Amino acid sequence: MRSPLRWWCVSCLVQLSRIVIFAERTEVTVIRQWLMIASLGLLSPMLSLKGRTDVRLGPQVQSHNTAPIIVGVLKPGQDRQGQEVKLPYVLGQQTTNYFHASQTQGKNIALAAHRLNGTVVEPGKTFSYYTVVGPYTAENGFGWGRAFVGDRIVPSVGGGVCQGSSTLYAALLRTGLPIVERHQHGLTVPYLPPGEDATVAGDYLNFQFRNNRTTPILITAQAQNRHMTVKIWGATPGPDVTVHHKTLQTFPFKTIVRDNKSLKPGEEKVLAPGQQGVVVKTWIAIKEPQGTVIKQMGIDRYRPSPRIIEKGPVSHATS
């Protein structure tokens, strides 16, 4: 059983808010890896928090927009004063918008930001998105949103949590920190370029990264005015990292036309706008003292999604 270590975050010597460090990586079996590919991004219902010991829902830690940040590190055998570590440097950040989201999906995105905000990852430890944000169920506070199944967009409880994992991944790309587990969506997303998204589903399709620094890192996140911002903070400056993409191939979408007798003659209704498929190669360039290091992030393939139109009955001219 996982045993989370409790840490205490002190910002500008005002209020204390409890946060949790998740020190252990969630393991994924080969069979579950196959199942998550088959799921194509559908957020499956998961268990509620009842009886769990690996998640603690404490007060929200406000986003730290100014330095310095003081983190009191509580280690086994230490008293509660612990050891103070300053985290004044933004290692990477990303902002995405969710103008496309429904009201309930927007609330899911805000809830994901709320649970990410204030998370500290200890040196050498692996962060698990599911452990911090999940499960993505109604029992855990999530409402209806949208998810990808095959080449279609369908309603799903917890739809929108992928924007949290994707915004986090995009921020981490700009830090050079090692990614342990990441999966692309089946379709492109409207809030990030292809190659910068990260889908999640249950505990079998997860997003994880490792803190390979010698000091803790802090994740802050906020969602307001239909924008989500994630920042990664560290004790020392990070390298200069740039993200690059190359489109290798594109695929046109097809158009599906359906009859709808409830529409007026000649009236049309667009159910899905359609989006093209694409194959994208992504890499990052890390500037280090000895020169620039190129790190390949892989090739992502996104399928096209059809444009779906409903038409009213054809009017017949009378003589």
Indicate the residue among 208, 238, 268 that finishes a domain: 238
Candidate from 55-64, 228-237, 278-287 with smallest mean pLDDT: 55-64
CB distance 179 to 209 below 8 Å? yes
Q: What is the pLDDT of residues 238-292, one digit of tens each?
A: 999 999 999 999 999 999 999 999 999 989 999 889 999 999 999 999 999 999 9
Q: Are residues 214 and 246 in the same domain?
A: no
Q: At what angle are helices 161-173 and 103-116 packed, to 10 degrees?
A: 50
Kindly state the average pLDDT of the residues 220-232.
97
DSSP state at residue 287: E
- Nearest 5°: the CA angle 87, 174, 72 is 15
Kindly state the average pLDDT of the residues 193-202.
96
The CATH number assigned to the domain holding 250 equals: 2.20.230
Structural domain span for residue 17: 5-238
Provide the token pair at 232. 């990664």
Q: What is the pLDDT of residues 146-172, one digit of tens each?
A: 888 877 888 899 999 999 999 999 999
pLDDT over 90 at 31, yes or no: no
Provide the token pair at 295. 């790190």
For the chain, the domain total comes to 2
pLDDT over 90 at 33, yes or no: no
- State residue 295's pLDDT score: 97
Candidate from 41-55, 86-100, 178-192, 265-279 with smallest mean pLDDT: 41-55
- State residue 316's pLDDT score: 65
- At residue 32 the predicted structure's pLDDT band, cuts being 50, 70 and 90, is very low
Residue that is written with structure tokens 């079996």 in the block: 29
**Range 32-35 contact pairs with CB under 8 angstroms and sequence separation of 24 or more:** 32/204, 33/204, 35/204
Indicate the residue among 181, 214, 238 that finishes a domain: 238
- At residue 318 the predicted structure's pLDDT band, cuts being 50, 70 and 90, is low
Q: Are residues 164 and 189 in the same domain?
A: yes
CB distance 220 to 113 below 8 Å? no
pLDDT over 90 at 183, yes or no: yes
Nearest to 40 by CA among 154, 160, 141, 145: 154
Q: Are residues 234 and 276 in the same domain?
A: no
Q: Are residues 46 and 138 in the same domain?
A: yes
- At residue 184 the predicted structure's pLDDT band, cuts being 50, 70 and 90, is very high
Q: Are residues 192 and 290 in the same domain?
A: no
Indicate the residue among 209, 238, 267 that finishes a domain: 238
- At residue 51 the predicted structure's pLDDT band, cuts being 50, 70 and 90, is very low
DSSP one-letter string for 168-216? HHHHHHTTTPPEEE----SS--TTS-TTS----BTTTB--EEE--SSS-
Q: Are residues 251 and 305 in the same domain?
A: yes
Q: Are residues 62 and 86 in the same domain?
A: yes
Nearest to 7 by CA among 80, 77, 61: 80
Q: Are residues 92 and 202 in the same domain?
A: yes
Q: In whole angstroms, what is the distance from residue 181 CA to residue 174 CA?
A: 16
Tell me what the pLDDT averaged over the chain comes to: 79
Q: Are residues 279 and 307 in the same domain?
A: yes
Q: Are residues 298 and 196 in the same domain?
A: no
Q: In whole angstroms, what is the distance from residue 142 CA to residue 297 CA?
A: 31
- State residue 152's pLDDT score: 80
Q: In whole angstroms, what is the distance from residue 89 CA to residue 87 CA?
A: 6
Provide the token pair at 75. 């280690």
Q: Between 95 and 17, where is the model more confident? A: 95
Q: Are residues 103 and 145 in the same domain?
A: yes
The whole-model pTM stands at 0.75
Q: In whole angstroms, what is the distance from residue 211 CA to residue 78 CA?
A: 22
- State residue 84's pLDDT score: 65
Q: Are residues 245 and 233 in the same domain?
A: no
Residue 302's SS3 state is strand
